[in-house]
Amino acid sequence: MNQRTIAERISCTGIGVHSGAPVRLTLHPARPDTGIVFVRTDGNHPVEIPARAEMVASTTYSTTLGRGSATVATVEHLLGALYGLGIDNVRVEIDGPEVPIMDGSAGSFVLLIRAARVYEQSVPRRVLRVRRAIDIRDGAKRIRIEPSRSFKVTYRIDYEHPAIGRQSLESLELYNGVFEREVARARTFGFVNEVEAFWEANLALGASFDNTVVLDERGVVNQEGLRWRDEFVRHKALDLLGDLALLGVPLRGHVKVERGGHTLHQQLVARLLASPEAARLRRPLPAAVSEAPVPALASA
List the one residue out of 86, 47, 92 whose CA is nearest residue 74: 92
- CB-based contact 183:155 (threshold 8 Å): no
User: Which of 28, 77, 262, 265 is flagged as catalytic?
Assistant: 262
Nearest to 169 by CA among 283, 160, 179: 179
CA 23/CA 16 separation, integer angstroms: 7
Q: Which distant-in-sequence residues (6+ apart) come within 8 Å of 119 by Cβ?
A: 4, 5, 6, 7, 29
Nearest CA among 71, 54, 70 for reference residue 62: 71
Q: How far apart are alpha carbons 168 and 155 in whole angstroms?
A: 6
Helix axes 107-116, 76-84, angle to 10 degrees: 50
For residue 37, give Cα distances in angstroms to 47, 108, 221, 279. 10, 19, 37, 24
Could you tell me which of 222, 226, 237, 210 has the C-alpha nearest to residue 14? Answer: 210
Helix or strand or coil: residue 175? coil
Half-sphere exposure of 208 (CA within 13 A, CB side): 10
Active site residue 235: no
Active site residues: 262
